[in-house]
Amino acid sequence: MSAARETAAEREARMMRAAAGRQEEMPAPRRPATLRTKPVRTTVDMAPELHRKLKRWLGGAADDLEVADVPLADVVRVLVRRLVEDDELAAAVLEDLRDLR
């Protein structure tokens, strides 16, 4: 039977069969990703001279804040937070990364 002579009921039945076939081919829905609750550890290698400068900066920051020490991890967390929230800082970091290449 040609498509021009197909009745509305026949067309609907054909469309339903086609849709049923597509549904069977669809992959099963994924389980929602579980949110990680445990902190993620990150390590960084750096040149000894840069590390010494960083340690000096941490000591100066501790003096300015009038505390015994400023943990490097706290500084990295603050820097990352600012990096992802501050478009100007992100642009400056990207420019520095371009210079490294």
- Please provide the distance, in angstroms rounded to a whole number, between the alpha carbons at the two ends of the chain: 66
Q: Can you give the pTM of this predicted structure?
A: 0.61
Nearest Cα neighbor of 54 from 27, 32, 73, 35 is 73
Q: How far is CA 41 from the centre of its chain?
A: 15
DSSP at 68: S
Q: How confident is the model at residue 99 (pLDDT cuts 50, 70, 90)?
A: very high
User: pLDDT tens digits for 35-75?
Assistant: 878 888 999 999 999 999 999 999 999 999 999 999 999 99
Structure confidence at residue 37 (pLDDT): 86
Structure confidence at residue 67 (pLDDT): 97
Cβ–Cβ under 8 Å, residues 69 and 62: yes
Q: What is the enclosing helix (H) or strand (E) of 87? A: helix 87-100
User: pLDDT tens digits for 78-95?
Assistant: 999 999 999 999 999 999
Structure confidence at residue 2 (pLDDT): 52
- Token reading at 58: 């941490």
